[in-house]
Amino acid sequence: MSTNIPAQSHTEADPWDDQAPAPSITRTPPQDLEAEQAVLGALLLSGSPSEASHRYFAETIDTGIRAEDYYRPTHGTIHRAMCDLAAKGEPVDPITVADELTQRGEIARCGGAAYLHACVQAAPSAANGAYYAEIVRGKAYRRAVIERATEVFQYAYSEKGTESEVRDLVEQALTELVAGIPGIQQAPPTVGDLYLDYIDDLEDIQAGREVGMPYGISDLDFATSGMRPGNVTVIAAQSGVGKSTLALNAAVAAAKANAKVMFSSLEMSATELMQKITAAEGKLALHHLTHQGQLTPDGWETVRRLGPELFRSLPLRVYRPDSASLGDITSAARACARADGLDLLVVDYLQLVEVEQARNATREQAVASVSRGLKNLSVQLNCHVIALSQLNDDGMMRESRAIKNDASVVIKVQRPDADEKESARAGEVDLVIEKNRFGPTTTVTAAAQLHYSRFVDMQD
């Protein structure tokens, strides 16, 4: 291929040099101008929508190549013009593209009609367009890596921010780069683009199919439509009522539905969590698992059976951080997302999570920072977050304003027999949905089988 393009050079500061100003070095970022010409040429050769060869246009575009992926900006301009023509159902060839660029006032900047023909000469066959596009996308990805790495270097050398803020920037950059999406490169979709996906979701809702991950309580799933990515559920209760039990039950129910789950506990050890899951799933009395000599031979058999039948295939990770910092939880969540994905994050509980705050910051401001951080994380990782919150003795959620603002669903756990042992409703639990962006506020009643460390539907 012959590019007829003058070599381009970029002057970059050496990020490893901490002297100011840094000496300049000349380096050319990863790029392949011949491959870029070949992609454009293949698209120009694909013909009109009525021709059989037009399928090569779709095959090339389906690689995900975008105008922003070209190193030479004018190549991106030509690419964009061709895509706009194709979207209107018009033929894409050197004549139609030259006319489109002329109408836009961009033809001269792109080298004129002669340059379009040079691109055609650079492509041996339209059938190879997808191959050339992958080369271009690969170079674009490498440039994105360099750009994000440079941002990290520059921020680290600037001495700005705290250690946790530097770590957060590094973690976010790694997560984006591993996912292959280093930042938004194009305009957000229009409502027209979203319409067909919306119709699919609406059909699922109207047909009664699950929209979100299950909590494990049928009426609760119905009222909220399940747990959805990018949202936060707050489960609030006084100490000892069962908020951790409900959250762990939900984590297991979601994992059984093939959701990737991380349960971060600041109160219970990994062994305690395993005991609770074993009791709930094996219908074994919890105190038999926690006291010497209480487990019967049948109980042992149940525990052994749960290994291959449940635990070895359940996509549930347990994280007990060395410290109770939001940064540690965030780092572990991003590691899960990079490893095999993350659909649900459970944090037990909000008031125990620590954040770096100014010395004069109030406790309410600290909890608000944790709540906002978890909400942002749910959006960044496209996962659902369950955050547990402690209630005061009078039943009010501590630091409630910020927590409720960030939550999509707020559930208060209330047990009638918690304070009144002889209650006529002993063994029941009320899940009071105080906030629900996906449906009505209501109260769901479930059975509290706390000897099995679980809440279940009343009919069970």
Q: What is the pLDDT along the chain (460 residues), one digit of tens a residue?
A: 444 443 443 444 443 344 444 434 457 889 999 999 999 999 998 766 556 566 788 888 888 898 999 999 999 999 999 988 887 778 889 999 999 999 999 999 999 999 999 999 998 888 888 889 999 998 998 888 888 888 888 888 887 877 777 887 888 777 777 766 544 445 667 888 888 888 887 887 787 776 789 999 999 998 998 999 999 999 998 888 889 999 999 999 999 999 999 999 888 888 898 999 999 998 998 988 888 888 889 989 999 999 988 889 999 999 887 777 787 888 888 888 888 889 999 998 787 887 655 456 677 777 777 888 899 889 888 999 999 988 766 656 555 677 888 899 999 999 888 778 778 888 889 999 999 998 889 999 999 999 999 999 987 6
Distance CA 234, CA 253 (A): 17
pLDDT at residue 187, as a whole number? 60
Query: To 5 degrees, how large is the angle CA 355–CA 357–CA 360?
Result: 145
As a three-state string, the secondary structure of 82-123 is HHHHHHCCCCECHHHHHHHHHHCCCCCCCCHHHHHHHHHHHC
pLDDT at residue 435, as a whole number? 92
Q: Give the list of residues 6+ apart from residue 178 with CB closer than 8 angstroms, or none.
A: 338
Q: What is the dihedral of CA 294, 295, 296, 299, to 10 degrees?
A: 150
- Radius of gyration for the chain, computed over Cα atoms and rounded to the nearest angstrom: 28
Structure tokens at 445: 């009643």
Structure tokens at 330: 């965030």
pLDDT at residue 25, as a whole number? 45
CB 182 within 8 A of CB 176: yes
pLDDT at residue 35, as a whole number? 93
Strand partners, 428: 447
Distance CA 410, CA 414 (A): 13
Of the candidate CATH numbers 3.40.50.1980, 3.40.50.300, 2.60.120.510, 3.30.460.10, the domain formed by 212-456 belongs to 3.40.50.300
pLDDT at residue 356, as a whole number? 59
Distance CA 268, CA 35 (A): 56
Beta strands at 409-414 and 232-237: parallel, antiparallel or unpaired: parallel
Nearest to 438 by CA among 159, 151, 286, 225: 225
Distance CA 102, CA 116 (A): 13
Of the candidate CATH numbers 3.20.20.70, 3.40.1370.10, 3.40.50.970, 1.10.860.10, the domain formed by 10-179 belongs to 1.10.860.10
Tell me the whole-structure pTM to 2 decimals. 0.63
Handedness of CA 445, 447, 453, 454 (dihedral sign): negative
pLDDT at residue 98, as a whole number? 94
Query: To 5 degrees, how large is the angle CA 299–CA 302–CA 306?
Result: 145
* Helix runs in 183-242, H state only: 191-206, 218-224
Query: Do the domains 10-179 and 212-456 sit in the same CATH topology, yes or no?
Result: no
Distance CA 313, CA 431 (A): 30
Structure tokens at 221: 């799933």
Domain boundaries, the chain: 10-179, 212-456
Q: What is the end-to-end Cα distance of the chain in Å, rounded?
A: 71
Q: What is the dihedral of CA 218, 224, 230, 232, to 10 degrees?
A: -90
